[in-house]
Amino acid sequence: MNVPSFSGYSRRQFLKTGAAASLLPLLGSLTPVFAAGSDRIRVGLVGCGGRGMGAVRNCLAADPSVQLVALGDAFADRVDGAMKEFTQGGKGEGRAPLPADQFAVTRERCFTGFDAYKQVMASGIDLVLLVTPPQFRPLHLQAAVDAGLHVFMEKPVAVDPMGARLVIRVAEIAAQKKLAIVAGTQRRHSADYLETMARIKDGAIGELTGGSCYWMQEGLWHNGRKPEWTEMEYQMRNWLYFTWLSGDHIVEQHMHNIDVMNWAFGGPPVKAYGMGGRQSRTDAKYGDAWDHFAIEFEYANGARVQSMCRQVPGTSTRVSERLTGTKGSADPSGTIRGEQPWKYSGQLVNPYDQEHIDLIRSIRAGTPLNEGKQVAESTLTAILGRMSAYTGREVSYGWLLANSKLDLTPAAYAFGDAPAVKVPVPGETPLV
């Protein structure tokens, strides 16, 4: 296994050089060629946490000729844990060892450190799975597209407007190169959502007049602190609670539901006005993350959507979306009420598998899916709500997209010091 590389690397430097270079005229499009002429699609994983290992299983289940060949993570113990689970199996249902003909990772293709993504992408792969904390997504996506790789990336795809704008630009380049980008917004691949949304678009509930979306749940994991960890390692191992890494939970988690609203309304809102705070996360171990948000999004037709999310122990759970129109209402997960009542009754494939099935099929057909722009817009919509709540100000999407200079990237990616933690206070936190 490679010795971890802890040399600093600045995303600001990358944005100034790599992005500009990629906007040069392209030298033709790429024709899919897999594994030295075979029909194998060779996959590399960047980010060996629980979601990353789940994404591997979803991807391999999508097509028996997909083969995992390389692993990368900032931390060696994560790579070791992934190797153990993939070869020996893990706890819980469905955690058997990977099929031998789909697992081709060797110790020489296991990489650690901040530059592990570069080594994974140079391992003769066709498709890379980007499943690190969201802070790193724009940088890793840029590198993947520059390397001519197809991409599956988890949501969200940025934590700030600068990163979201980069993703939009890179998605345009990927389209020119005929490279696939599929995001972890699995509702867009789920048959119940697809059929309901098609009926809504056909006028089943009339003109949309409003909606609501929720991700309300109890608290989540915390990995504690070990004395040998630097502050950077501590924050990365508890990335949920640091906005520079996660975007806060309105972006990291609630973006799923916000994405459904954007899907229904045909694009992002025009503005947001929100509030929130920290009532249970008063301990410094929770970084600067809030535990609840309530946002009003206004869309181009004047309709308003109420968006609420919460992560507080001992509270009730609600994860859902609802749309209202001039002729009825709908739960986009499969129910329409009003003049044209209907309920989805078809079969469902696990949408975490289906998104990979759709990705692989599009690559093989030579018509690669590209969800980069839409997922960046939904990420930016969630960031819009967060920034409105943090500052206490109404914020327009157009300003955020074109003018915001907020960049949460640290001066360098290196194990040592980490960004200072300061909990946002409405009325004091500036709108940047």
**CB 370: neighbour CB atoms within 10 A?**
19
In the three-class reduction of DSSP (H, G, I as helix; E, B as strand; rest coil), residue 227 is classed as coil
Q: Note the pLDDT tens digit of each residue in 279-322.
A: 999 999 999 999 999 999 999 999 999 999 999 999 999 999 99
Here the tokens at position 21 are 């270079």
**Residue ranges of E strands in 132-218:** 150-153, 181-183, 208-217
How far is C-alpha 194 from the chain's CA centre?
20
How far is C-alpha 385 from the chain's CA centre?
17
* Cα–Cα distance measured from residue 317 to residue 310, given in angstroms and rounded to the nearest whole number: 9
Does residue 2 surpass a pLDDT of 80?
no
Q: What are the sequence ranges of the domains in the chain? A: 11-187+354-373, 205-346+379-402
* Cα–Cα distance measured from residue 247 to residue 385, given in angstroms and rounded to the nearest whole number: 11
Q: CB within 8 A of 36, min separation 6: which ones?
A: none
The CATH T-level fold of domain 205-346+379-402 is Dihydrodipicolinate Reductase; domain 2 (3.30.360)
Can you spell out the DSSP letters for 118-150? Answer: HHHHTSS-SEEEE-S-GGGHHHHHHHHHHTT-E
Q: Note the pLDDT tens digit of each residue in 54-72.
A: 999 999 999 999 999 999 9
Does residue 187 surpass a pLDDT of 50?
yes
Here the tokens at position 324 are 């209202």
The residues facing 43 across adjacent strands are: 68, 127
> What does the pLDDT average to over 417-427?
97
Q: Dmax over Cα atoms in the chain, in whole Å?
A: 64
Nearest to 121 by CA among 226, 45, 215: 45
Using CA atoms in the order 152, 153, 155, 158, what is the torsion angle rounded to 10 degrees?
A: -150
Is the distance from CB of 278 to CB of 291 less than 8 angstroms?
A: yes
pLDDT mean across residues, the chain: 92
Question: What architecture does CATH give domain 11-187+354-373?
Answer: 3-Layer(aba) Sandwich (3.40)
Q: Note the pLDDT tens digit of each residue in 123-161.
A: 999 999 999 999 999 999 999 999 999 999 999 999 999
Nearest to 257 by CA among 217, 302, 286, 221: 217
In the three-class reduction of DSSP (H, G, I as helix; E, B as strand; rest coil), residue 248 is classed as coil
* Cα–Cα distance measured from residue 17 to residue 173, given in angstroms and rounded to the nearest whole number: 15
* Cα–Cα distance measured from residue 229 to residue 232, given in angstroms and rounded to the nearest whole number: 8
- Pairing assessment for the beta strands 271-277 and 292-298 based on DSSP bridges: antiparallel
**CB 29: neighbour CB atoms within 10 A?**
11
The residues facing 321 across adjacent strands are: 213
The runs of H, that is alpha helices, within 45-160 are 50-62, 76-88, 116-121, 137-146
Cα first-last separation, the chain: 42
* Cα–Cα distance measured from residue 127 to residue 68, given in angstroms and rounded to the nearest whole number: 10
- Residue 95 pLDDT level (bands cut at 50, 70, 90): confident
> What does the pLDDT average to over 87-115?
92
Q: Note the pLDDT tens digit of each residue in 239-281.
A: 999 999 999 999 999 999 999 999 999 999 999 999 999 999 9
As to burial, measured by CB atoms within 10 angstroms (0-12 exposed, 13-18 middle, 19+ buried), residue 189 is buried
pTM of the model: 0.92
* Cα–Cα distance measured from residue 117 to residue 96, given in angstroms and rounded to the nearest whole number: 26
* Cα–Cα distance measured from residue 72 to residue 76, given in angstroms and rounded to the nearest whole number: 9
